[in-house]
Amino acid sequence: MFTTCTETVSILYAIAFGAGDACVDVGAGSILAAFAAFMVLVVIAQFLARKLWAKLTQSQPHASPEPTMSENDHPFSDDPNYRDSAIRRSKR
């Protein structure tokens, strides 16, 4: 049932290249190395996903002409000396 191993490989090596007839080391170092490699891949995937999401959701600016005002086109005409003027001092 159990055979004698002539070669032992880490979990990370077994995932990347396959174990074949070799035994897989399930020690703490092997597990931590595989977990660290997994976390590095997750961080890289998140970085790429955020870059892609920012690029996809970025709105394209529309080129619209600026409105031009003529000499006779004023937004308002008001006398600043008038008591109820729109433009006046806050202290009276």
Copy the structure tokens of residue 16.
């990347």
| Tokens matching residue 19 | 């174990």
Question: Taking the model in full, what pTM does it have?
Answer: 0.54
pLDDT tens sequence across 38-50? 999 999 999 999 9
Output the 3-class SS for the chain: CCCCCCCEECHHHHHHHCCCCCEECCCHHHHHHHHHHHHHHHHHHHHHHHHHHHHHHCCCCCCCCCCCCCCCCCCCCCCCCCCCCCCCCCCC
**Model pLDDT for residues 35-91, shown as the tens digit of each residue:** 999 999 999 999 999 999 998 888 766 666 666 666 666 666 656 666 665 665 666
Q: Find all residues with CB under 8 Å of 26, minimum gap 6, and list them.
A: 11
